[in-house]
Amino acid sequence: MTTDGGPSAMKRFVNGILPENPVLRQILGMCPTLAVTNGMKPAMTMALAVAFVLVCSNVMASLLRPFLKPHLRILVFTLSIATFVTIADRFLAAYVYEMSKALGPYVPLIIVNCIIISRCEICASKQGLGPAVGDALGQALGCLLAYAAMGTVRETLGNGTWFGIRVLPAGAWDPWVVMLLPPGAFLTLGLLLGVVNWADRRFSRAAGDRK
Amino acid sequence: MRVLTEAWLVIALSVGFGAGLAGVHAALRDRIRANQAAEIRAQIPKLVPGADAGRSEEVRPGVFRALDAGGRPVGWVLQGKDQGFADVVQILVGLDEEGGKLTGIYVLDNKETPGLGNRIEEAEWRAQFAGAPAREPLRTVKGAPSGPGQVRAVTGATISSETVTRIVNATVAEWRKSRAAGKD
């Protein structure tokens, strides 16, 4: 139960996975979705970096919410997000240098990722710590699942591997290199959004029939 | 004093976050520098044909003497940087033993526009520097180069391309000056 009138932590968590999935339903954070999902390794590194920043900035925004002034709140959010992104960026450079080089500008660009600032604005600055953390974890998981779906399709079809492990035999599969390139990103995202919308319509109709 | 009653949170957070980031930087700095040093070392054999990564030595910061497996000098690797379109661009320049020809370049770090400026890091574009004359400054041209010493700019990224050429010219000139002065 929450005392702030907003959805509970559990509800926030579940919403982030599919009903309000940041990538597939809110269509936010398209830049990393398209740019770093040509392999599972960069996609999952990006998803974990986003998760870290989401949780930290939601916690920060929730703790600071009694002191937020309406006209200065965005500044406070941006300041917190930029700080946590820089921390994530430095940790990647220190411990997974190759991956940090491969992701290039997309890690610093998490600062301007609307998924994060929208969660500060919609949830964390209005609700307590529990719902804020539940919300961040749900949105992060939703984001991770969407990146995993993109990464799986693009890496398996484009390179015959998954997480760098060969899944399609080298001789039997002629890799669709286009899947690793920008057009492959748009094709995969478009089809994925189509499937999600189709499934949503179908299942909500089925739910309606039962009533 | 309205600014203090309204914006005290922003000011306090700036100071707090700044201190936190300084702490993170201090804790990770050595590790990140070691990673960068290892990356430079791994590039030496790719930049100077015949060079051995382990034998080559840094004679002074940013200047590497490329040695082959037998310890014979085969060339130089120079580190240079300058402001690009978005942020500082850092590159390595490979030079032959006499300093007459470039043997290759490598982009260590750039934050140029993805898809445009950051194409300076692509091997295909960098390949035109291998074998380019090093005694006169290189020039950036749009379209096909009409002679040696000309560098074809990446389409849509003239500033990033010119930055690389400028760094190469300045780094080689600097090296030549200090060599003439007998420092290396």
Note the pLDDT tens digit of each residue in A28-38: 989 999 999 98
The band of A87, judged by pLDDT with boundaries at 50, 70 and 90, is very high
The Cβ of residue B159 has, within 10 Å, a number of other Cβ atoms equal to 17
Residues of A in contact with B114 (CB under 8 A): 35, 104-106
| pLDDT value of position A37 | 92
The tokens for A100 are 């940090």
Phi and psi torsions of A179, nearest 5°: -65, -25
Optimal mutation site among B2, B3, B5, B31, interface A, most CBs of chain A within 10 A = B31
Residues near B183 by beta carbon (within 8 Å), at least 6 away in sequence? B60
| pLDDT value of position A208 | 67
Phi and psi torsions of A92, nearest 5°: -65, -40
Determine, for residues A35 and B114 on separate chains, whether the beta-carbon distance falls below 8 Å.
Answer: yes
Mark out chain A residues that contact chain B at CB-CB < 8 A. 35, 64, 67-69, 72, 75-76, 79-80, 82-83, 86-87, 90-91, 93-95, 97, 101, 104-106, 108, 182
Could you tell me if A172 and A48 are in contact, meaning their C-beta atoms sit under 8 angstroms apart?
Answer: no
Where do we find the tokens 């600055």?
A125
Give residue-wise pLDDT tens across range A109-155. Answer: 999 999 999 999 999 988 999 999 999 999 999 999 999 999 999 99
Pairing assessment for the beta strands B102-109 and B73-83 based on DSSP bridges: unpaired
Phi and psi torsions of B82, nearest 5°: -165, 165
Where do runs of H (alpha helix) occur along chain A? 9-17, 30-35, 40-64, 73-95, 97-103, 114-119, 129-159, 182-210
Closest CA to A154 of A191, A182, A188, A193: A188
Determine, for residues A64 and B21 on separate chains, whether the beta-carbon distance falls below 8 Å.
Answer: no
ipTM metric = 0.78
Question: Residue B167 pLDDT > 90, yes or no?
Answer: yes
Pairing assessment for the beta strands B150-152 and B139-141 based on DSSP bridges: parallel
Q: Looking at chain A, which residue has its C-alpha nearest residue B38?
A: A97
Residues of A in contact with B20 (CB under 8 A): 83, 87
Could you tell me if A137 and A145 are in contact, meaning their C-beta atoms sit under 8 angstroms apart?
Answer: no
Q: What is the pTM of this model?
A: 0.79
The band of A209, judged by pLDDT with boundaries at 50, 70 and 90, is low
Question: Residue B183 pLDDT > 80, yes or no?
Answer: no
Angle between helices A9-17 and A129-159 (to 10 degrees): 20
Determine, for residues A94 and B32 on separate chains, whether the beta-carbon distance falls below 8 Å.
Answer: yes
Determine, for residues B31 and A91 on separate chains, whether the beta-carbon distance falls below 8 Å.
Answer: no
| pLDDT value of position B184 | 63
